[in-house]
Amino acid sequence: MITCTHIEKTYRSENIETRALKDVSFEIKDGEFVAIMGPSGSGKSTLMHILGCLDTPTSGNYVLDNKDVSQLSDSELADIRMKHIGFVFQSFNLLPRTTVLRNVALPLVYADVPRAEREKRAEQALRSAAFPEAFWHHRSNQLSGGMMQRVAIARALVNDPTLILADEPTGNLDTKTGEAVLRTFQELHEEGKRTIILITHEPYVAEHAERVIHVKDGEVVADDRNHKRRIV
């Protein structure tokens, strides 16, 4: 599914160079549930941007689904994001005055999917995210934080991606609601259809994954494949 080989990312500003990632190498297999964990400034967000085809490495190779995406153009990267990757962000990124159903269907509009098919697939995604049907026609600004995050998960699922990237998905939620959202990711993992990567600085969030990659100062410092997973 994913192979990162000697990934480096350097940001340059005038005469200053900042190495955000340093010789990062790892593999993630199809269907794995992985947490990438590190403190603020560790490089985990930079790594997420590369894994999500939002950015490219300065050097090294990133292979996704047997395709080397390290040197692709912006339009080629956008095509991969649209067809193969679902994103879940801490801030939800929903349209506030738009219904739940339309928020979820929005990526399909950009993919030129016919309206009837968009609605059908949006409904399927909402069911997969365990979002109650009674709220499908509510506007997103009428929902609680936990419900908005489930809408965001459904939107990430609507294109049937092979990879789901979740960046601090419980960061704006209370503990109980966050646990419910993490349980949704576990249930999606158990379906066995998708690779899921959680980006987090919280150990209790990482505990829900089956593998934890630890990042510090731009480097992978540990890869815990056999840690005791927390089941909720």
Q: Are 201 and 40 in contact (CB under 8 A)?
A: yes
Sequence-distant (6+) residues with CB within 8 A of 43 are 9, 20, 21, 22, 24, 215, 217, 218, 219
pLDDT tens across 155-188, in order?
A: 999 998 999 999 999 988 888 889 989 999 998 8
What kind of architecture, by CATH, is found in domain 30-53+74-224? Answer: 3-Layer(aba) Sandwich (3.40)
What string of pLDDT tens digits covers the 232 residues of the chain?
A: 899 999 999 998 888 899 999 999 999 999 999 999 999 999 999 999 999 999 999 999 999 988 898 878 889 999 899 889 999 988 888 999 899 999 999 999 888 899 999 999 999 999 999 899 999 999 999 999 999 999 999 999 999 899 999 999 998 888 888 998 999 999 889 887 789 999 999 998 999 999 999 999 999 999 987 655 665 5
**Three-state SS at 125:** helix
Distance in angstroms (rounded) separating the CA atoms of residues 223 and 204: 17
211, 33 in Cβ contact below 8 A? yes
Q: Phi/psi at 97 (nearest 5 deg)?
A: -100, 20
Report CA-CA distances (Å) from 48 to 25, 64, 85, 114, 165. Answer: 14, 13, 12, 31, 8
Residue 78 CB contacts under 8 Å (≥ 6 apart), including other chains: 53
Q: Taking the domains of the chain in order of start, what are their residue ranges?
A: 30-53+74-224
Angle between helices 100-110 and 115-128 (to 10 degrees): 120
Span 46-62, pLDDT tens digits: 999 999 999 999 999 99
CA distance 30 to 19: 29
- Cα–Cα distance between 46 and 56 in angstroms, integer? 10
